[in-house]
Structure 1
Amino acid sequence: MPRAFIFVLDSVGTGHAPDAAQYGANQGTDAGSNTLGHIAEACAAGNADGDALRSGPLKLPNLVKLGLGRAAALAGGDVPPGLELDGDTDGAYASMIETSNGKDTPSGHWEITGVPVNFGWHFFPDTQPTFPADFTSAIIREGDIPGVLANRHASGTQVIEEFGHEHIMTGMPIIYTSTDSVIQIAAHEEFFGLDRLYALCATVRKLVDPLNVGRVIARPFVGKTADTFERTGNRRDYSVPPPASTLLDIAQDDERAVFAVGKIADIFAHRGVTDIRKASGNDAMMDATLQAMDDAADGDLVFTNFVDFDTEYGHRRDVAGYAKCLEDFDKRVPELLAKVRDGDLMVFTADHGNDPTWAGTDHTREQVFALLTGPQIPIGSCGTRDTFADIGATVAAHLDLPWSAAGTDMLADAK
C-alpha cells in the first residue's frame, strides 16, 4: 500500500489570487502581490544580496525540476527569473486557487485537506484599543493578570521590542492581533512563565469561542533588553477545530497513522493526528520529517508545515532572508526524495502568500503551487485548480481512502 507526504512551505505564494483586490491591509489591496515572483525578481536585480547571506539569482534547482517555475507561471503569467527549466519535470505540477474566506494558516491548511472555510471569521478592528473593553476585562479577570499591554494590531517582533521591558516589570502580557482572525499573546518564558502563558492562552481561547476567532497563539520570548529579546520555538496555537472531517480525520478513521510535524497538530486542534513531532526551525523540522518518513508504514500520511518562510522572513519583510531560506530548503529536498519508495506520493505546496516586498506585514492573498512526485506519478501540468482541496482529494485517491469532502483527484485524467 502506498504512503503519502504533504509538505507545506508556509506562505510561499506564487501570484495574486483572482479575488486579491478584496483583501489587503490599510496600505492597499493584495492585487499584484507575488511572493515567489517578487523575491526572484529582487534576486535577479541584485537587490537580495544580504550581508554575504546569499547573492545573485534565486537558485532552487531541485524544486524547479519538480515544476516550481512552471507552476508559478500558471499563476503569475511568467516563469520567475532564475526558475526556468529545460526539458521535462520530475512529476506533475499545478497552480491552486483558494476558495476559503481568509488568507490565514487554518483556512489554507483546512482547504488543502478538503474543508474550505465558507464562513466568516471574526476580525478585530485596526483601532487602539483593538479589543472590546468587556473582553479585555474578562481576560484580566479570568486570566488572573494585572492588565494587558499593546492591545492593537502589531508585528510580533516589533511589539515585543516595544513592550518587552514593561512586560517584565509589570507582569502584564503583551496581547495583539493582525488582519488575520487571531489573538497573539507574548510573554517572557522566565519572568512570566511558559506554563502560565499556555494556561492564559487556553483561557482566552474559551473566551473568544463565541466570537469565532480562528486562533489564539502563545508567543513566548526570552532576553532582557529590546536588542536581546527573541521569540523561542515554544510557540503554541490554540485553534478552533475544522468544521468537518478533513483528510487527517478520514485517514485516522481508516486506521492509518497520521504524522504531524511542526505546527500541523495545532492547526487541526490535534484532531485526526496519531503522532506529533514538534521541532523549531526549518532544519529541525526537516530532520523530524525525515525520521517520520522512516517511521511511516504502508498507507500512512506524513504532513509537515515548514514555518520559517512566513514567521522569520515574510512578516519581517526580509527579502534576502526569505530568498536564503528558500535556497536552504531546496538544498535539502534531495534528502526527502531519497526516502520515497515505490508507490509513494510526495506533494509540495503552500497555504497562502506573504510577499516580503508588499506593504504592511500581513499575509497576501495568492495562488500557491502544487508539485507532485513519486515513482508512478505522471509528468506534466495539471493546470490551474479552482480549490486547494484538490490536493486532499488527490492524496485520498492515492491512499485509497473514502472521499466525500471537497476537491477532485488532479491526477485522475493522467493515470
Structure 2
Amino acid sequence: MDYKFKRIFMIVTDSLGIGPDKKQKSFGDEGANTLFHVSETGLLDIPTWKKMGITSIANIKNPGKIKNQIAYTARVQELSNGKDTLTGHWEMMGIYTEHPFPTFTDTGFPPELIQLLEQKFDGRKIIGNCSASGTDIINKLADQEINENKIIVYTSGDSVLQICGHEKHMGLDNLYRYAQEARKICSSKPEWNVGRIIARPYVGEDGKYTRTFNRHDYSVKPEEDTILDKLQKKGIKVIAVGKINDIFSGQGISQHYPSEGDANGMDITIDLALENTTNEFIFVNLVQFDSHYGHRRDVEGYAENINLFDIKLAKLINALKEDDLLIITSDHGNDPSFKGYNHTREMLPATIYSKSFKKPKKLNDFQGLGTLGNIIARNFGLDLVQTGEDRFDELI
C-alpha cells in the first residue's frame, strides 16, 4: 500500500513532563514541572528542539524566540489513572488503565509474598523490603547480600518489585531466573500483581558498587491486542529500541535493540533512519532521563541529558527521509526538583516532525496519549484506539 509516511519513529523521553495537568493535584504532585525546573539550572542548551517548537507548549527559562517552528507541537493530557511507565506506554498503544497497578511504598511487600519469593530464590533471605532509591539501597546492603548470601528486594512509588544481584557473585542467569519466578508469583494474585518486576544487576567490590545496563524488566502482559500487534498483522515491521520490548513483554515486537543508555539508544535510531527501508514503526524509549536523573533527583544531570538528546536529535533529523514521520513524547513526569524520588503526574509534550510538512504549528491539546497512537493507526490503515483522539488530518 502507498502510505503517507513510509516509516514512523516514536521516541519516548521517559519522565520528561511539562507541568500541571488536570489530575496532578489528586496525585499529590501539585507544582511539579520537570522541564521548567530543569531549565532553571541555566544549563539547558537545546537549539534543535527549540527550532522544532518545544517552547510553544512548555514553559522554560530563557526560551528565546522562534518565528517559524519546523514541527507540530501539542500538550498531551494523559487519560489513564496512573503515572508510571506501563500506564503511559500502554495508553499510547490503545490500552486504558482504570485502576493503577498496586504499590507497596508505605508497607513493603507482605510476609506471605516474601516467603514465597524466598523459596524460589534458592532459599536466600530477603533484605530491604522497603521503598528506596536503587543506588542507595545497593550501597547500603550489597555487602550483606554478597557476604551472607542474601538478596535485596525493594520497591518505589511505582508499581514495581525490584531485585538486586551482583553480576559476579550472584550471576545474571540467577538474577533473571529469580525475576521470572517473581513475575509468576506476583501475577498469581491481583493484590500482588505489580506492573513490573525489575532485575537490577550491579558490579563492584568493598562498598563501591555501580548498577549496570543489564537491567531487565518483566512486565504484566497486555490483555488485549495493541497497535503493535495490529501493525505486525498488517505486515508492518515493529522495531523496539531500549526497554520497549520489556514494557510490552515482547508482544507485537518484530525486532529488538537493547541500548546502553540514551545516547546509544539515539545512535541506534539514527542508524535505523539511515537505512533504506519502508513499512516500519520504530519505537524508542530513553530511560536514563527517568532512572539516572529523575529518580536520583539530579537536576543538573537531567539538563545535560536533554542537551545530549538535542545533539543527537539534530543528527536524526538529518537522517530522516522526506516521507518519514518523527514523534517525540513522554510517558509521565519525574521532576528532579520535587520532594521524594518518584514519578510526578504532569502534562506531556508531543513534537511531530516530517520534512514534508508545509507550515507546522502549535496544535490544541491532545486528549489522551492514544492520540499519538492514532496517528500511527491512521497512517497504516488500522482501526483507531479509544485512548485518544483522531488528529491525523491536521498534519499537512
Distance 1:138 1:334 in 2: 50
Match of 1:51 in 2: none
Deviation at 1:308, TM superposition (A): 1.1
Match of 1:406 in 2: 387
Distance 1:295 1:58 in 2: 31
Does structure 1 residue 33 correspond to structure 2 residue 14?
no
Match of 1:372 in 2: 352
> Given that residues 79 and 387 in structure 2 are in contact (C-alpha distance below 8 angstroms), is that contact kept between their aligned partners in structure 1?
no
Among candidates 17, 21, 28, match of residue 21 of structure 2: 17
Match of 1:224 in 2: 205
**Structure 1 residues 414, 339: closer, same or farther in 2, change over 3 A?**
closer
Distance 1:382 1:136 in 2: 49
Does structure 1 residue 177 correspond to structure 2 residue 177?
no
> Given that residues 262 and 277 in structure 1 are in contact (C-alpha distance below 8 angstroms), is that contact kept between their aligned partners in structure 2?
yes
Distance 2:148 2:80 in 1: 41
Root-mean-square deviation over aligned CA pairs: 1.5
Among candidates 239, 254, 257, match of residue 259 of structure 1: 239
**Structure 1 residues 142, 296: closer, same or farther in 2, change over 3 A?**
farther
The sequence identity of aligned pairs, in percent, is 36
TM-score if structure 1 supplies the norm length?
A: 0.90
The C-alpha deviation readout for 1:33-59, integer Å capped at 9, x for no partner, is: 00001111232xxxxxxxxxxxxx521
Instruction: Tell me the SS of whatever aligns to 1:380.
Output: coil
Matches within 5 A, 1:193-342: 193-209=171-187, 210-211=189-190, 212-226=193-207, 228-295=208-275, 297-342=277-322
Distance 1:329 1:404 in 2: 30
> Given that residues 374 and 392 in structure 2 are in contact (C-alpha distance below 8 angstroms), is that contact kept between their aligned partners in structure 1?
no
Query: What letter is aligned with 1:61?
Result: P
Does structure 1 residue 188 correspond to structure 2 residue 133?
no
Deviation at 1:256, TM superposition (A): 0.9
Match of 1:81 in 2: 61
Distance 1:266 1:203 in 2: 16
Does structure 1 residue 58 correspond to structure 2 residue 38?
no
Match of 1:134 in 2: 112
Deviation at 1:22, TM superposition (A): 1.7
Residue-pair matches, total: 388
**Unpaired runs of 5+ in structure 1?**
24-28, 44-56, 73-78
Distance 1:278 1:397 in 2: 28
Does structure 1 residue 152 correspond to structure 2 residue 156?
no
Distance 2:98 2:276 in 1: 33
Distance 2:299 2:73 in 1: 25
Matches within 5 A, 1:110-121: 110-121=90-101
> Given that residues 97 and 386 in structure 1 are in contact (C-alpha distance below 8 angstroms), is that contact kept between their aligned partners in structure 2?
yes
Query: What letter is aligned with 1:276?
Result: H
Distance 2:280 2:339 in 1: 41
The C-alpha deviation readout for 1:72-100, integer Å capped at 9, x for no partner, is: 1xxxxxx3113333201102000001111
Deviation at 1:68, TM superposition (A): 0.9
Deviation at 1:145, TM superposition (A): 2.9
> Given that residues 68 and 83 in structure 1 are in contact (C-alpha distance below 8 angstroms), is that contact kept between their aligned partners in structure 2?
no
Distance 1:301 1:225 in 2: 45
The C-alpha deviation readout for 1:166-191, integer Å capped at 9, x for no partner, is: 01101211100111111000110100
> Given that residues 369 and 387 in structure 2 are in contact (C-alpha distance below 8 angstroms), is that contact kept between their aligned partners in structure 1?
no
**Unpaired runs of 5+ in structure 2?**
none
Between 83-92 and 2-11, report the one with greater CA deviation: 83-92
Deviation at 1:162, TM superposition (A): 0.4
Deviation at 1:295, TM superposition (A): 4.4
The C-alpha deviation readout for 1:249-277, integer Å capped at 9, x for no partner, is: 11111111111000000000110000000
> Given that residues 67 and 91 in structure 1 are in contact (C-alpha distance below 8 angstroms), is that contact kept between their aligned partners in structure 2?
yes
Instruction: Tell me the SS of whatever aligns to 1:151.
Output: strand
TM-score if structure 2 supplies the norm length?
A: 0.95
Distance 1:125 1:348 in 2: 31
Query: What letter is aligned with 2:194?
Result: V
